[in-house]
Amino acid sequence: MMCRADTVGVFQIESRAQMSMLPRLQPRRFYELTIEIAIVRPGPIEGGMVHPYLRRKQGLEPVTYPHENLRPVLERTLGVPIFQEQVIQLSMVAAGFSGGEADELRRAMASWGKNGDLYKFRDKLIQGMQANGYRAEFAEQLFNQMKGFGSYGFPESHSASFALLAYFSAWVKHHHPAAFYCGLLNSQPMGFYAPAQLVYDAQRHNVKVLPIDVLYSHWHHSLELQPPLPLAEEGAGERENQPRPNTQTRTHSPVGAAHGRDRCMPTSQEYKNAPKPYRTPRKQKASLSRPPLRRHPGTNRNPPPQCSASAYA
């Protein structure tokens, strides 16, 4: 499901950018999902790390390392730095930063958008990497990635936590789609998609969405089982008289139905054709007749009442 980018409503991988990346990256393992969440960020994009990783993941390019000393740092991401922890480790291994200097570099990356403290590490980083035998192009690329992480970058622990939540939400969508979409609709407004788009995607996954019913609907969306008796065998009259089941859904097939405010009210013709007990009787007009008021020509005042002499007798 993830490899097909069928992730509408799935945590962290429902955006257009993530959905365009999923078919190319094809995450089959949990750590690949962790990389998927972290790679669509300014850090790897501005550092030019996305396309090299995709080519190596697809087998179009051999996995190489700038230096053999960097293999322990970059091996799990195919020789391409993607996470914030890897950038900090590269500054220590490749440029000779101490632990305190690496921590200052981490703080400078976190506050890069507010002040320019990150640039004071540029010369030390590039000169230290060149002194240890690394190419100047790789040093510049690493510093550009640091600037991207200052805008927004993911540490590996953060991405792994998000990947776990993304896997859980994708599992619920795949095995229990009715409950998944019902929960999303009850949580609106949220996410990238409007309720109408979620309802359309639910129908695409064979979830039947029922219109509003004054006898069964509630303020929140809910689930119900479809009546098990077929209409052809039992007849329409018997089926209409049967009570509907409680609010629940089957766990082995997506037969639940989401109730809610996403459907229009009955039309006037449907209201006219409703059974008599459910119709509200119209108010009867008053039977007392009242003469119309006459006004004096050219004025807005009512004339004084005309009383006969017999009225005062």
Residue 286 lies in a domain: no
Same domain assignment for residues 55 and 148: yes
Structural domain contains residue 313? no
19 occurs within a structural domain = no
Identify whether residues 200 and 238 lie together within a single domain. yes
Residues 231 and 190 reside in one and the same domain: yes
Q: How far apart are CA 10 and CA 167, in angstroms?
A: 8
Q: Let me know whether 46 and 146 are in one domain.
A: yes
- Same domain as 188, residue 144: no
How far apart are the C-alpha atoms of 74 and 90, rounded to whole Å? 9
**DSSP letters of 163-203?**
HHHHHHHHHHHHH-HHHHHHHHHHT-S-SSS-HHHHHHHHH
What is the count of structural domains for the chain? 2
Question: Domain range for residue 106?
Answer: 42-153
Of 149, 236, 193, 132, residue with least CA distance to 10: 193
In tens digits, the chain (313 residues) has pLDDT values of 899 999 999 998 998 889 999 999 999 999 999 999 988 887 778 777 889 999 999 989 999 888 888 899 989 999 888 888 888 888 888 888 888 888 888 887 776 555 457 788 888 888 888 888 888 888 887 887 777 766 566 788 889 999 999 999 999 999 999 999 999 999 888 878 889 999 999 999 989 888 888 888 888 888 887 766 555 544 444 444 444 433 333 333 333 344 444 444 445 555 556 554 444 444 444 444 444 444 445 555 555 555 444 444 4
Q: Does 161 reside within a domain?
A: no
Domain contains 280: no
CA distances from 61 to 53, 56, 106 (A): 9, 5, 31
Residues 201 and 236 in one domain: yes
Residues 77 and 125 in one domain: yes
Do 48 and 146 reside in the same domain of the chain?
yes
Does residue 162 form part of some domain?
no
The reply to whether 265 falls in a domain is yes
Q: What is the pTM of this model?
A: 0.66
The residue assigned the tokens 């998927």 is: 36
Residue 23 in domain: no
